[in-house]
């Protein structure tokens, strides 16, 4: 069956799923029935695990192009193609041993469980994986994991059964050989999902992006993926080149642009105030409109840069940035949307230019 033939069957079900979640804490303990119904139907149609391209013997044998064509058409959860499970299944398929494949890969591929990948940490710039501080220390036949993670997608899901955790197993090794990744069952003593983190006020339940602690978590040494110091063979991330964030060129660019735009906006406001004093508000419509349109847009741009520099925490509830952005965004609509004021500015400008041309004749 072709994608063209299937397109009429692709009916959005987001609203039904959201309604089934309910309110409050219930949202984190509910798997909407429509999800399981769609998963069953997807398997019947062969629309299952399509992300596993032909390089993986466990997959349906699609090319990357074919996989992309399917991904843009079908809902990821319903077809078992949702992150972070996709990446975790690839880890198990490519690097997992026989036991890991049987215990974790098979139920993941069957859609029976969900998973999470725990890398990002609140205390370090985690986009540079060499900064990761979570420790993975060998103790006899076990490894002991200690660390504080956040923005761990999928950790809140009631079906989340396993974490793949990145940490440092040997701080004396070369910089890019200190990191390892280890499999941690979600029900292991010492694993605590602290709280869900919101993105601009939204919790993304039941999937979630959560803060997670690993306190003296003991797992068998066989749970280590590939071996000690081989985390970078799976996790490739941009580095910060050993500099403070403020020393990077793009950040300097952000700071300079923000200051210039802020000062220019202030001048527009002062210009409008001066015109009101001189000719009255009725005759200062253009200047007022220019300030009204420019200031919220500039502040939003500055806030967006701040969020980008702050990282994942910038969109959560632990800084004021997301709240500030949401509040400022409403000002592009309040007291008339941008489009109305922009039209007024243009018409007034044309009127003024026509008057000047007439005066020359």
The 10s digit of each residue's pLDDT in 269-323 is 999 989 999 999 899 999 999 999 999 999 999 999 999 988 888 888 888 898 8
CB distance 17 to 49 below 8 Å: no
**Residue 73 — very low, low, confident or very high, per pLDDT cuts 50/70/90?**
confident
Give dist(CA 327, CA 303) in Å, integer.
Answer: 11
Q: Pick from 196, 200, 204: which is nearest to 325 by CA?
A: 200
**Do 228 and 136 sit in the same domain of this protein?**
yes
CATH number at residue 32: 1.10.540.10
**pLDDT confidence of residue 10:** 67
Q: Which two tokens stand for residue 222?
A: 């066989």
Q: Bin 251: left if φ > 0, else alpha if -120 < ψ < 50, else beta.
A: alpha
Q: Is 177 exposed, middle or buried (0-12, 13-18, 19+ CB in 10 A)?
A: middle
**What span, in angstroms and rounded, lies between the C-alpha atoms of 195 and 139?**
29
As a whole number, mean pLDDT of residues 132-157 equals 96
Pick from 31, 45, 120: nearest CA to 77: 31
Residues 8-19 have a mean pLDDT of 76
SS3 label, residue 258: helix
Q: Is the peptide bond before 332 cis (omega within 30 degrees of 0)?
A: no
Tell me how many domains the chain contains: 3
* 236 and 144 together in one domain: yes
Q: What pLDDT score was predicted for residue 237?
A: 34
- Boundary of a domain, candidates 189, 209, 240: 240
- Tokens 């949702």 belong to residue: 82
Q: How confident is the model at residue 144 (pLDDT cuts 50, 70, 90)?
A: very high
The C-alpha atoms of residue 96 and residue 89 are separated, in whole angstroms, by 9
Same domain, 189 and 68: no
The DSSP-derived string for 200-215 is: TTB--TTT-EEEEEEE
Q: Do the Cβ atoms of 68 and 51 come closer than 8 Å? A: no
| Residue 142's CATH number | 2.40.110.10
Question: How confident is the model over 23-51, as a mean pLDDT?
Answer: 90
pTM score, whole prediction: 0.78
pLDDT score of 247: 67
Q: Which residue has the tokens 């026989």?
A: 98
Helix (H, G, I), strand (E, B) or coil at 335: coil
Distance CA 111, CA 130 (A): 33
Mean pLDDT of 60-88: 87
Q: What is the rounded CA–CA span in Å between residue 183 and residue 216?
A: 14
| Residue 46 domain boundaries | 1-81
Mean pLDDT over residues 330-359, rounded?
Answer: 91
- Residue 143, pLDDT score: 97
Percent of the chain with pLDDT over 90: 58
Give the whole-angstrom CA distance, residue 185 versus residue 130: 24
Statement: residue 70 has pLDDT above 90 = no
Going by the DSSP 8-state scheme, the letter that residue 125 receives in this structure is: -
On whether both 42 and 12 belong to a single domain, the answer is yes
CA distances from 8 to 5, 12, 40, 73 (A): 7, 11, 18, 11
Residue 332's nearest CA partner among 301, 310, 309 is: 301
Proportion of the chain above pLDDT 70, given as a percent: 93
Q: 């398997």: which residue's tokens?
A: 43
pLDDT average, residue stretch 182-196: 97
Question: Are 36 and 17 in the same domain?
Answer: yes
CA atoms within 13 A on the CB side of 32: 21
Distance of CA 278 to the CA centre of its chain: 50
Structure tokens at 72: 């843009």
How would you label 295-314 residue by residue, b for 16+ Cβ within 10 Å and e otherwise? Answer: bbebbbebbebbbebebbbb
User: Which domain-ending residue is among 240, 263, 279?
Assistant: 240
Domain boundary among 32, 49, 81: 81
- 28 and 10, same structural domain? yes
Q: Quick one: average pLDDT of 34-58?
A: 91
Residue 58 vs residues 50, 98, 223: alpha-carbon distances, Å = 10, 13, 21
**Range with the lowest mean pLDDT among 15-19, 81-85, 134-138?**
15-19
Indicate whether 199 and 250 sit together in one domain.
no
For residue 239, what pLDDT is reported?
A: 39
Over residues 157-186, mean pLDDT: 93
């Amino acid at each position: 069956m072709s994608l063209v033939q299937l397109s009429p069957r692709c009916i959005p079900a987001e609203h039904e799923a959201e309604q089934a979640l309910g309110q409050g804490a219930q949202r984190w303990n509910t798997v909407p029935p429509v999800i399981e119904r769609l998963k069953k139907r997807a398997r019947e149609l062969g629309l299952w695990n399509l992300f596993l391209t032909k390089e993986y013997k466990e997959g349906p044998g699609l090319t990357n192009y074919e996989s992309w064509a399917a991904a843009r058409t079908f809902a990821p959860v319903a077809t078992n193609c949702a992150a972070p499970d996709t990446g975790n299944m690839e880890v198990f398929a490519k690097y997992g041993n026989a036991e890991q494949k049987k215990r974790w890969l098979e139920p993941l591929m069957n859609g029976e469980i969900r998973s999470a990948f725990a890398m990002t940490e609140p205390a370090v710039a985690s986009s540079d994986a060499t900064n990761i501080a979570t420790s993975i220390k060998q103790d006899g036949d076990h490894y002991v994991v200690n660390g504080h993670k956040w923005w761990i997608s999928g950790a809140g899901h009631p079906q989340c059964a396993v974490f793949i955790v990145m940490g440092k197993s040997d701080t004396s090794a070369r910089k890019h050989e200190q990191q390892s990744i280890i499999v941690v069952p979600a029900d292991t003593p010492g694993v605590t999902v602290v709280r869900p983190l919101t993105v601009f006020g939204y919790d993304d339940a039941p999937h979630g992006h959560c803060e997670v602690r690993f306190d003296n978590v003991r797992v068998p040494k066989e749970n280590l993926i590939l071996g000690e110091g081989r985390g970078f063979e799976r996790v490739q991330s941009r580095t910060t080149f050993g500099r403070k964030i403020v020393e990077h060129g793009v950040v300097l660019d952000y700071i300079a642009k923000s200051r210039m735009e802020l000062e220019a906006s202030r001048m527009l406001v002062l210009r409008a105030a001066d015109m009101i004093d001189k000719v009255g508000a009725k005759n200062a419509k253009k200047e007022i409109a220019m300030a009204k349109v420019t200031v919220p847009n500039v502040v939003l741009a500055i806030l967006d840069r701040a969020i980008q520099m702050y990282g994942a925490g910038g969109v959560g509830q632990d800084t004021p940035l997301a709240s500030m952005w949401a509040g400022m965004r409403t000002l592009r609509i309040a007291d008339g949307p941008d489009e109305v004021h922009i039209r007024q500015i243009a018409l007034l400008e044309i009127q003024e230019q026509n008057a000047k041309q007439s005066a020359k004749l």
